[in-house]
Structure 1
Amino acid sequence: MNTPNQPRRILGEVTLTAGNLRNSHIYVTPFKHLLPTDIFGGSNKDEPASRMAVIHYGAVTPVESDIPNDKNLFRNRSWAREFLARTGARPGDIVRFEASEPHTYHISLVRS
């Protein structure tokens, strides 16, 4: 796992819609091609990826998730629900995804 001082690079930003907020998901479509292929799994939870992504989203403990290969969002959406609620996210706000290691991501909210 990374150290707090590990440099980060911005992978991409996603503008939130009312649908994102209603369904507790955040798409990775704009930067999907920058993610390692081993975090993509099958279309259901019985076919997980060979490696999980570690997602730091402001909670004490990060979560792990993969991405179904037929969708453009993380399979585990509990973190997204908590992140969106805790930050008071609104349609038009931007979610920034940064990488500190190949499988470690940091999520933050940028107000519109």
Structure 2
Amino acid sequence: MGQELVEICLRVRDIDATLDFYTNLFDFKVDEERKYPDDGFDLIYLASPGASVRIELTYNYDADPYEVGNGFSHLGVTVDDLEAMHDVCKASPYETGDLRGLSGGTPSYFFVTDPDGYRIEVKRRK
């Protein structure tokens, strides 16, 4: 039986700030929106060009603040120009780490943190 990973769900506190992060800092687009006001939540699906996995943003209207668990590490995104994307992220209001390389090698990635504390590893596309 075949499988395909199709979505990753993130629970978010401030939907506007989160949408700004993913659609303006990165190239994600809103692919689908589902609103369930009677049940107290909205689902917004983000897609990245050429990717088959979507990010499902779950926004609960009256939820207590979420805590990013210590078992979750990060999401990964690849970019064509790592240095240019690093400059964009450093100029943004989001916490952005330094360019790094494994074992002190050539820089190949950095981390940026979204408004809810989820870390995004930005890697050089091979």
Give the TM-score, by structure 1 length.
0.28
**Larger CA Rg, structure 1 vs 2:** 2
Give the TM-score, by structure 2 length.
0.26
Q: Which has the higher strand share?
A: 2
